[in-house]
Homo-oligomer: A and B are copies of this chain.
């Protein structure tokens, strides 16, 4: 075994051992660790920023582009934000040990389901060193050990953040192995991590569709994909067009670079004559480039023609694909073919159409008369999220603390036996 593979295996074994202890610590103890990590991050801000400056310098030397540099860059405010996120986690309810669905069986046996941690979570993500602190906090709070593998370009920042986390973890008396940061630029560390099915219970790849597919094809560990969002808004024949315009504009322009932003707007042919000119004008007034299908160009002739690749594409930018569809069924069929099961919305006044869309579109969040931008842990009431799962299995949509746990059955008896 290579030195690197050996090191990764050791990290995962330590995480497994820590998980055995962590799952039975008190809420107070885990909360103390979150506060201590927040404190350590602020205290070590200068060290973290130095490491980040080195990462940025190296990235610039490799000719890294503006958007990626921005995701990589930390400043004092972003570090304060990481610390603040951890402090907010303290206030959230601890799912571990809570018992749900409690009921008494006819024989008097009281049965229910108790939440327990998943065990060891491995997370693989790109750039964004703040994810290192966010994910460590969510996993610790929910009693899980975590192995973190951030982007190669951020390894120095992640190492410095990892050291601050380790200080907080040990200060609170939690097992030091509970948070493992694989702070090496060597991409072989990912393969080594994906081979640790003896020690790792769940892999969360968070990033591009390419990253997620590559992880899924290389591991036996269960994977919860946190992949791209190819999100749609469908404006039905009966839609309130003022509402439809407001929702479409919000979904596209409020924050175009995130996964729950709209990428394709579908418009029912019966609404197209009236709606298309106004929505295109509104989009353009926000600097959006609209690329239209032939039917939409028949209504708005100066649209740039959409090509086949524009549908199903995650632009993450002020670009919108626009298609006229002949029916609700055609809209659903389009979404099934080109969507990514992330977030899709219908705007309609027709109750039957709303209910049908709600049932037939199987995305992690399906909305009626609201913006796709609501697919977010805080917006849906989870408090915080480690990402948005596009895998239906176990957890679909924003993964908060509860989604980082499993449930075992418990039964309280007074001597019951089976007849």
| A406: Cβ under 8 A from any B Cβ | yes
Residues 191-214 of A, flagged 1 when their CB comes within 8 A of B and 0 if not, give 000000100011000000000000
In the assembled complex, the CB of A250 is this many whole angstroms from the nearest CB of chain B, namely 4
Q: Is the interface of A mostly helix, strand, loop or mixed?
A: mixed
In the assembled complex, the CB of A144 is this many whole angstroms from the nearest CB of chain B, namely 11
Copies in the complex: 2
- Cβ of A197: which chain B residues have Cβ within 8 Å of it? 216
| A363: Cβ under 8 A from any B Cβ | yes
Which of B97, B396, B415 lies in contact with A407, CB distance below 8 A?
A: B396
- Cβ of A42: which chain B residues have Cβ within 8 Å of it? none
Give the residues from 329 to 370 in chain A that come closer than 8 angstroms, CB to CB, to chain B. Answer: 336, 354, 358-360, 362-370
- Cβ of A240: which chain B residues have Cβ within 8 Å of it? 415
Taken together as a complex, chains A and B put the C-alpha atoms of A362 and B22 apart, in Å, by 13
- Cβ of A254: which chain B residues have Cβ within 8 Å of it? 417-418
- Cβ of A354: which chain B residues have Cβ within 8 Å of it? 412
| A119: Cβ under 8 A from any B Cβ | yes
In the assembled complex, the CB of A367 is this many whole angstroms from the nearest CB of chain B, namely 4
- A220-B216, A381-B111 known; A250 vs B417 contact (CB < 8 Å): yes
Q: Give the top 4 A-B pairs by smallest Cβ distance, nearest first.
A: A370-B413, A250-B417, A392-B406, A394-B394
* A residues in contact (CB < 8 Å) with B: 20, 23-24, 97, 103, 105, 109, 111, 114, 116, 118-119, 197, 201-202, 216-217, 219-220, 222-223, 240, 243, 246-247, 250-251, 254, 336, 354, 358-360, 362-371, 373-375, 379-381, 392-394, 396-398, 406-418
- Cβ of A250: which chain B residues have Cβ within 8 Å of it? 417-418
Extra inter-chain contacts (18) besides given A105-B381, A370-B414, CB under 8 Å: A103-B381, A111-B374, A217-B220, A220-B220, A240-B415, A247-B415, A362-B408, A364-B408, A365-B409, A367-B410, A368-B411, A370-B417, A371-B416, A371-B417, A373-B417, A374-B418, A397-B409, A398-B409
Taken together as a complex, chains A and B put the C-alpha atoms of A418 and B410 apart, in Å, by 41
- Cβ of A380: which chain B residues have Cβ within 8 Å of it? 105, 111, 409, 411
Residue of chain B at shortest CB distance from A103: B381
Give the most central of A119, A360, A366, A373: most B CB within 10 Å. Answer: A366
